[in-house]
Amino acid sequence: MKKIFPKSLKKGDKIAIISPAGSVDSTQLEKGLQMIKDKGFEPVLGENLYTKYSNGYNYAGTEAQRSHDMNWALNDTEISAVWASRGGYGCQHLVENLNLKNFKKNPKWYIGYSDNTVIQSYLLKKGFASIHGQTVKTSSFGVTDKSYDLTFDILQGKSLKYNLNSNQLNRKGNCEGELIGGNLALIYALLGTKYSFDFKDKILFIEDIGENFYALDRMIMSLELSGVFNKISGLIIGGMTNMGDEKENKQYEESFDGFAYQVISDRISKYDFPVVFGFPNGHIKDNRPLIIGSEVSLKIGKTVSLNFKK
């Protein structure tokens, strides 16, 4: 299926801000909303953006309320892009309720990461690309201005290419294919469902936060047992933040967790696809956007280049 890329935004266009998963306070979005205005765009707040509903987790409203805001944002003809306020948990509740009737006539960029991987997998199954990038909420560890600037570059139709230093765990090689993926826990959670990514001949990106090392290994094992590593043409590993039990591995409290990387490296050692470790995307300060659904070329040698072709 040929992927559809939303049209570029122009100054003055409206960007819907919604909370599809966890709840947020208005103070947490002040900086992000002001930034959108400073870039020349108009943020339009979803009806339930700041709603709170506690049901074992602090959601941004009931499933019906969050579905309402998502469908409004995707289908309103005055909206040119949809930007998630945050991740957390809850996007899986929405996919059975989504309506793309008007969206298909006027596709728009969806921006988010973490739990938003579910929405991005859903959109990709329907043939639409999206932006795996920083949410409107700036995280506790901060976000670089460059991370946001690159997202606005994509929204305005500029090309995207990354040139990076190599990591000692990298596996050299070149590959081309469609970029898929996002948060590992959600990729894992979607396995076996009709909303799971199609992995055949794809370049898979993964990142995660706050998982014990045994849980990380379990998720990687599930990908292996599902045949994912026999299907993909390349693998990109981003941030692995606050991984493991502090009592076990205090020395690995960092964005690119060395032990987490070793767990992954060991598990995929029998495969021969090219692998990048330490890519700047995930629950990290330097969270540079990726275009899910884009055709990319990946070259790994003394340095790493990732070129987005569309």
- Phi–psi pair at 297, nearest 5 degrees: -115, 135
| Beta-sheet strand order (sheet of 161-165) | 161-165, 303-308, 295-300, 173-183, 203-209, 234-241, 275-277
Tell me whether residue 207 is one of the annotated catalytic residues.
Answer: yes
HSE-CB at 29 with a 13 A cutoff on CA atoms is 22
Q: How far is CA 280 from CA 198, 204, 231, 276, in A?
A: 24, 15, 24, 11
The token duo for 279 is 């890519």
The active-site residue out of 19, 147, 207, 211 is: 207
Tell me whether residue 226 is one of the annotated catalytic residues.
Answer: no
The active-site residue out of 114, 147, 233, 255 is: 114
Do residues 101 and 75 lie in contact, with contact meaning Cβ atoms separated by under 8 Å? yes
Distance CA 178, CA 297 (A): 9
Distance CA 75, CA 200 (A): 30
Do residues 19 and 66 lie in contact, with contact meaning Cβ atoms separated by under 8 Å? yes
- State the amino acid at position 288 in one-letter form: R
Spacing of C-alpha 241 from chain mean position: 15
Rg of the chain taking only CA atoms, in angstroms:
18
Do residues 79 and 14 lie in contact, with contact meaning Cβ atoms separated by under 8 Å? yes
Find tokens 């340095």 and name the residue.
303
Tell me whether residue 114 is one of the annotated catalytic residues.
Answer: yes
292, containing H or E segment? strand 290-292
The active-site residue out of 121, 139, 255, 283 is: 283
Do residues 296 and 274 lie in contact, with contact meaning Cβ atoms separated by under 8 Å? no
**Catalytic positions, written as ranges:** 114, 207, 283
